A and B are shown apart, each in its own frame.
Chain A
């Protein structure tokens, strides 16, 4: 057998997404092994008879291969994107087989974050399907000697109605493959009324594999001859091993050796953190051996970091003038006139991702090449990082993508994949690095801690005559540039520079903060703290003005208009302002819809109960949320009901979208109830679910209702936009129920649980 066959076979056996059963993926790998003509980067689509696109191939037996180029972490993008291809192709979903792409630029962007899989690939998926349909119709027309315009696709067959002739896609594949691939302009996309799957949706392609335990996550990847590694990393960011003693570790049964990993050269980016790895025959032996290591650390500069002190520093910074990032009118002039004003400090601590699957990666370095199997959101990033770490060409790194046991942004950062690759090179065998839960929580790229100062003066009608908001948080760019201290436009846009209120005097500022831990993207990112500050302060002002919070919110949103960002660095999530303008009318509409559906103002709320509302646009999607809470005399909070209304433009998969918003409510619940990472002397205090609790079934909302606005606007995000308004609405509901204003998360600080 050739080396190529080995790799392919191994991928088939262990690296596919589904191990066995009815949903076998890569079942076609076996027959092709003998031919030896495949590269590890090849897909079945590449080898299919008709292959007009990197995303699609059709075999003579009618099998349609669709390549999922983005990672599946629970958002159903691995199903929903192929569904768009299948719709334009008019394919029978039962005859579609989805295969997972490796990291490869030919698929375009593969970093599955930022809630843009559908938005960014909708046109490409449609184009792939429409191209194949065009070619199949042409082939049929030629065979029958009729005009292509008289033929049409109808669920996996091409038909010529007047002569009642039919030919299946499989039988046409070979003839179609001989035709030129049509230019984009020649394609006719299906009209909305003819859509088979788009807008109706499907459950996950992997659903049966998920409920039978056959789904293969990164944690489940195996290859012959692999060993397991557990790494003791520097407890403080930037720390180094001074010396270590592994005598006791090596005595543990099953432990083979220890291997040092070099500390990173700042900035950290996606480099391994360094430390000492214990290599063993199984995961448990590696964990046990690691406990017996005796390491002396040089903790470095971040040893001075204490999160309590840091919090005060952020707050102090926010109480003084900072960098102006958007200005309307002259808020200062209004404040200078004196009179009554409202002010408040809001604070959200560092947050950890805590996906259910701790970080894990498998790598094999052999003959100067690296093969990776990883639950990564970012296979191209993993490839780049490993290529740099090992000093080999990118072309010599293959990154297979397994299913992800949750990602939430953490698995976009491939430091853990690089660890596996570095260790495999040193050990000379395939190495699987398994992070413990403690590692996962202590060595995260945390969502930034943020302090926000809000100030407003109210006019006679209760509306703000002047509004000032200042945020201070260590920015994500600090992982790439140690001197980065100000928020970048990409994160200031997230609910901060785009406060949607129609105000005569508005000043938005951002202050500097130096990072002492790695900061990274976490589901909804900066929108979490920004929406919390703005939407809770809005609620405060409503109460100060003696107004109903819903009426007040609608009043501030004002009449439908498009926000003018002239002079403001507003990247609009990378989308054009023409295709995705910021339309306050859409925010208003979801607010009105959720108010109506939740029975706002119509339901009675007794002692200890209350409802709160918030509205927010993020990832180009407009969401309004009403949360109902009950708080008993012991301060225990329950959430009987949540209502969410969203306008995400065209929603391809409504069922998956509902699930994302239900999940967002639970994710937001964890933020409000218990989300807090703290540090002393640079060392993270939390370690596992006992001190970094996440919402359990009895703490989560009992019922979340999701209302999707029917929209012809282009598709926007659905994975993240549910979290930010939920967090704010939940806190506003707590105020309504208890009179306690939540300004400092989590709510344990108010004696609530």
Chain B
């Protein structure tokens, strides 16, 4: 039996420990904000926080979440919207939007570790997250806007 916290709530899981966290979140808990994009950690659509660090939930096994705290977009902010979400709206980042939850979870992790990331630092942190619609320049702008808000 694996014990973990998801968005602050205690959960226990008695399935196969090699099951990826993504499918536990989506198919078992019904938390569908985190997306399936590639299944091998190449696109970032499934990005969540595990113990406050950005993690690709499609390659994070349930065994590796034991005793850890998982945060998904559903638990990102208790009151209204996180500054990153607000910035994403203000800059009108999403097109299809499918990758954007993963983008934002990655951006939140970046801004939690770097208050005012440079363009280069943004590229380094965000280059694991693919957006096929091509919203990258708005993602960059939104991260800068959010950095200003969070500072």
Q: Which A residues lie at the B interface, using CB under 8 A? A: 19, 72-76, 203-204, 206-208, 210-217, 219-220, 222, 228, 253-254, 282-284, 287, 354-358, 403-408, 434, 436-437, 655, 659-660, 662-667, 669, 688-690, 694-698, 700-704
Contact = CB atoms under 8 A, between A and B. Distances in A.
A662 B23 contact: no
A704 B134 CA distance: 11
A613 B96 CA distance: 29
9 contacts: A206-B97, A208-B81, A210-B100, A213-B74, A228-B27, A666-B134, A688-B40, A700-B136, A703-B137
B72 A217 contact: no
B92 A666 contact: no
Nearest to B38: A437
Interface residues of B, number: 58
Contacts of A403: 96-97
A211 B85 contact: yes
A204 B94 CA distance: 9
A227 B122 CA distance: 40
Interface in B103-132: 104, 119, 122-124, 126-132
A712 to B, nearest CB: 26
B96 A214 contact: no
Contacts of B27: 228, 282-284
B130 A214 contact: no
Contacts of B4: none
Contacts of B35: 217, 219, 356-357, 405
B133 interface: yes
Contacts of A666: 131, 133-136
B54 interface: no
A662 B134 contact: yes
A354 B99 CA distance: 13
Nearest to A664: B134
A149 to B, nearest CB: 40
A164 B73 CA distance: 50
Nearest to A216: B32
A283 B122 contact: no
A158 to B, nearest CB: 33
A695 B43 contact: no
A698 B96 contact: no
B88 A220 contact: no
Contacts of B139: 697
Most buried by A among B28, B88, B96: B96
A213 B43 contact: no
B2 interface: no
Contacts of A74: 94-97, 133
Contacts of B89: 203, 207-208, 211
Contacts of A208: 81, 89
Contacts of A283: 23, 26-27, 36
A695 B45 CA distance: 15
B8 interface: no
B94 A663 contact: no
Nearest to A354: B132
Contact of B36 (A211, A212, A219, A700): A219
A702 B136 CA distance: 8
B38 A357 contact: no
B94 A405 contact: no
